[in-house]
Amino acid sequence: MATDELKITTAEHKSRIEKIQKQLQREKIDALCLTNSTRILYTTGFAHIPTERPLAAVIPRDERPFFMAPYLEYDHIRRECPIASEVLTYPDYPGKVHPMRLFAKFMAQKGLASSKIATDSMEGAGGGYGYRGPALPDLMRRAKFIAGRDIVDKMRLVKSRQEIQLLRESAKWSEIAHDILLENTHVGLHDTLVAVKSSYDSLVKMLRKIGQSYVQLKIALSPIVVGFRGQVGGNSAIPHAVYSKKKIRTGDVLVTEAGVEVGGYTSELERTVIVGKPNSRATRCFETMLKAQNAALKEFRPGIACGRVDEAASRSVEDSGLKEGLRHHTGHGIGLEGHEPPWLDPGDRTLIREGMVFSCEPGLYFPGYAGFRHSDTVVITKKGMDFITHYPRGLKDLTV
């Protein structure tokens, strides 16, 4: 990790590209064409805002990567991506000549007109924002295109030392942000106002401490987001709630979230909080959820299938007699994206490996009453797991 900036080093990105090129050589593939912004960031270190304008990073088998991009990104790539050999640009979208036709021309200029090309998009573009255009393979009929998403995605399953260090830095500030959130939580306030104030207070504190080394790579109004996301009172029974019109009241169950992006990586910290003295029902549901999380945490170790972790959590809930509260699997991989493979689900038989990072978040939801969920970020070690997020999980500490 570079000492001056909290982000993945250029040396590590070069190492990732070398691994990709070795795979291309083994499989006799001439180039990998990436259009997805997360895969481009992972491989090259270039972070951008994807729009209707196509942008692609191409990794040839034996040469440095080059970019095909709208002209507005030229200086951005040149400044942020020292490993790029060349940036081939077009004016804008849709243009007098469609960008995809220019992509075909650029690929020919680089000697790839009749090549075997792996890609993460057969369209040649990431899509979105109303993008429409001819597919790149239809404009390069002498080339052979094959699916190439897994070339990058399989590399991302196991995190490097630098990635884990960034996730730990994210977690440290998430924990501080969560403390601030609880300090700002009071009966009679709207949860959104509490969240905005807490996010701001946390950001001020973080930037005072590490402002010179901090790097934000994802587009967001604030790199710190801490709050309740509408999971207040009865609305906490909706796992992916967005907004609540209700103000915080005594007796409410709140489900919190705290996430801090550091160099593109965000850990996940969530807690169930009770406003005022919890009644017997809230206590039973909370303790059942916590017991299920503990059961899942005990299962983590290299060599077992992902589904086994979920099975342990579900069995714990069933033994407690609250099976009707189950709504989702126990967790998921996490790193550059909030949700990424593999999944802690009975349908995912991926074997857990040292260095994988997961959220562990079994939840219970009772419509019309409340929801209960803790989420912790954990990394797999040689013999088990280690917490990346370190925050109290007991009912006493989470009563406000």
**CATH code at position 213:** 3.90.230.10
Segment 36-41 shows an average pLDDT of 98
- Whichever domain contains 99, its CATH number is 3.40.350.10
Any idea what the Cα angle at residue 177 is, between residues 223 and 377, rounded to 5°?
Answer: 80
Q: Are residues 138 and 198 in the same domain?
A: no
Distance CA 223, CA 205 (A): 13
The answer to whether residue 360 scores a pLDDT higher than 60 is yes
What are phi and psi for residue 110, nearest 5 degrees?
-90, 10
Full residue range of the structural domain in which residue 66 is found: 10-155
Neighbours of 117 (CB within 10 A): 22
Q: Is 97 within a domain?
A: yes
- Answer whether residue 4 is part of any domain: no
Residues 35 and 172 in one domain: no
Distance CA 316, CA 130 (A): 46
pLDDT of residue 4: 80
Please report where in the chains the tokens 């562990």 appear, as a residue.
Answer: 360
- The position carrying tokens 């809230």 is 282
Q: Which two tokens stand for residue 348?
A: 């995912």
Whether residues 246 and 317 share a domain: the answer is yes
Question: Quick one: 53 and 199 in the same domain?
Answer: no
Q: Which one, of 186, 191, 196, 193, lies nearest residue 246 by Cα?
A: 191
Q: Which of 123, 155, 187 is the last residue of a domain?
A: 155
Burial of 192 (0-12, 13-18, 19+ CB in 10 A): middle
Q: How far apart are CA 190 and CA 198, in angstroms?
A: 13
- Do the domain assignments include residue 5? no
Please tell me the distance from the alpha carbon of residue 232 to that of residue 361, in angstroms, as a whole number: 18
- H and E: helices and strands count for the chain: 10, 18
Domain count across the chain: 2
pLDDT in tens, 250-260: 999 999 999 99
Q: Are residues 115 and 184 in the same domain?
A: no
For residue 197, is it within any domain?
yes
The backbone region for 7, taken as left when phi is positive above 0, alpha when psi lies in -120 to 50, beta otherwise, is beta
Residue 216 lies in a domain: yes
Please tell me the distance from the alpha carbon of residue 59 to that of residue 29, in angstroms, as a whole number: 11
Question: What does the chain come to in residues?
Answer: 400
Same domain? For 185 and 238 the reply is yes
Q: Please work out, in degrees rounded to the nearest 5, the angle formed at the alpha carbon of residue 271 by the alpha carbons of 367 and 208.
A: 140
Domain final position from 129, 155, 181:
155
Which pTM does this prediction carry? 0.96
CA–CA dist 351, 342 (Å, integer): 9
User: How confident is the model at residue 2, as a pLDDT?
Assistant: 44
Q: What is the DSSP string of 15-78?
A: HHHHHHHHHHHHTT--EEEE--HHHHHHHH-------SS--EEEEESSS--EEEEEGGGHHHHH
Looking at the fold, whether 306 and 202 belong to one and the same domain comes out as yes
pLDDT category at 220 given cuts 50, 70, 90 is confident
**Rounded CA gap, 143 and 58, in Å?**
15
- State the pLDDT at residue 15: 98
* Average confidence (pLDDT) over 279-306: 98
- The mean pLDDT value of the chain amounts to 96
Positions of E strands within 104-178: 116-119, 144-147
| pLDDT for 1 beyond 60 | no
CA atoms within 13 A on the CB side of 29: 21
For residues 53 and 171, state if they share a domain.
Answer: no
Taking only the tens place, the pLDDT of each residue in 163-196 is 999 999 999 999 999 999 999 999 999 999 999 9
| Amino acid in position 326 | L
203 with 267, same domain?
yes
